[in-house]
Structure 1
Amino acid sequence: MGLLIFSINVTLDGCVDHQVGIADDETHAFFTRLMDEGGVMLWGRVTYEMMESYWPAVARGEIEAQPAIREWAVKLEAKPKYVVSSTRKDYPWTNSHRIAGDLRTGVQKLKDATPAGVLLGSGKLATELDRLDLIDEYKFLVHPRIAGHGPTLYEGGLSTTRRLELVSAKPLRNGAVAMHYRRERG
């Protein structure tokens, strides 16, 4: 059974808006390494559609991009992508699959079938999966920014506090810090 790892960009005040972080070669290399280490990607429908509207065109060379960004796009194109959605049924983007039905059962089956792990990149979906006790690790890239607006991490709230064990903290040259935590169980 693989681990479910939640990874996202977050500012110091908890904002997870993808437009407020630092988007440079170093941050893209960080997420490319995470994607390389994992078996599959997991998103909610809204995140999937945001990614689908941009990254395939970058991978095809239709949008000008720096080498690290193009590398991310090409690897993402090839990576298996799973989407939780109760409404959308058609997924034409390469290697895209739908998880339908019971959320706990569908995601647990995906974890069981993916020894290399599942990389989760959707904030709202993470809240739901954390409520179901399915997230094993957290790899946040904390940006040296105060956004002053939302959306924020775990905006929907959790019923109990999550205790985490620090695995590593690595500062990047751009001032962001890659934080890796493991969920304490028991």
Structure 2
Amino acid sequence: MVRELVWTGFLSADGVMDSPGGEIEGHPAGGWVFRTDFLPDAFALKGEELAETTALMFGRRSYEAFAPVWSTSEDHAAYRDLPKYVVSSSLHEGAILEGWGETRILRSADDVAALTASDGGAIFIHGSGALARSLSDADLIDRYHLLIFPVLLGEGKRLFSRSDQRERRLRLRDSEAYANGVLKVVYDVVR
């Protein structure tokens, strides 16, 4: 059975995905996720994903940001023993964090395609904007789990490429609106 590749993350209403965690991430409006009223139901998707996740995939920068935090976080304990894949042309083996499960470096979209053609369950990509754009452009992402926040940011990293490309259709799998203005939208890529 072919493995499904799923991108999951937070977007502003105008499609900016970067710096939900704080200004330190490089965006002057960083921290926008945490300035939205917290409703547990609006984040239920994140818990639902755990039951389906069989492996994690990151770009280099997201791996370097998440690994030191998630490896010791009780909120992310379920991820500790899952296989992890880091897609990077520059990361060296010595930079892999010890004690956070098996981690393998993939060097190209072709390596990702070979992985998704193997047996196994869903692989979830968290953050990793540049990786998500390149894998989307290569038509390798199968599903998007989006939490869209009621904020407009203007500038910032975009999930989807602005380059001219062929039309891609999405099929709505699930959606819900929450009282704090957050929208959950889950799309399958139609092939």
- What's the TM-score once normalised by structure 1's chain length? 0.80
Q: Distance in 2 between matches of 1:138 and 1:149?
A: 22
Number of the residue aligned with 1:64: none
Matching residue of 2:32: 20
Distance 1:174 1:87 in 2: 40
CA RMSD of aligned residues (A): 2.2
Cα 1:118/1:169, change in 2 over 3 Å: same
| Cα distance between partner residues in 2 of 1:9 and 1:117 | 19
Equivalent of 1:97 in 97, 103, 109: 103
SS in 2 for 1:35: helix
Shift in Å, 1:10: 0.4
Partner of 2:67: 52
Partner of 1:107: 112
Distance (Å, rounded) in 2 between the aligned partners of 1:156 and 1:87: 25
1:79 aligns with 2:79: no
Cα distance between partner residues in 2 of 1:137 and 1:103: 17
Q: Distance in 1 between matches of 2:141 and 2:79?
A: 22
Task: Point out where structure 2 has 5 or more consecutive residues left out of the alignment.
Answer: 21-30
User: Is the CA contact (8 Å cut-off) linking 2:106 and 2:112 kept in structure 1?
Assistant: no
Separation in structure 2 between the aligned mates of residue 77 and residue 173 of structure 1, nearest angstrom: 33
Identity %: 26
How many residue pairs were aligned?
Answer: 172
Equivalent of 1:179, from 171, 181, 185? 185
Structure 1 residue ranges, 4+ long, deviating more than 6 angstroms after superposition: none
Which SS does the other structure have where 2:168 is aligned? Answer: coil
CA distance in 2, matches of 1:8, 1:115: 22
The partner residue of 1:116 within 113, 121, 126 is 121
Q: What TM-score do the two structures reach when normalised by structure 2?
A: 0.78
Distance change in 2, residues 1:85/1:181 (3 Å): same
Q: 1:158 to 1:40 in 2, by over 3 A?
A: farther
How big is the shift at 1:144? 1.5
- Cross-structure match for 1:160: 166
Structure 1: state its 5+ residue gaps: 60-69
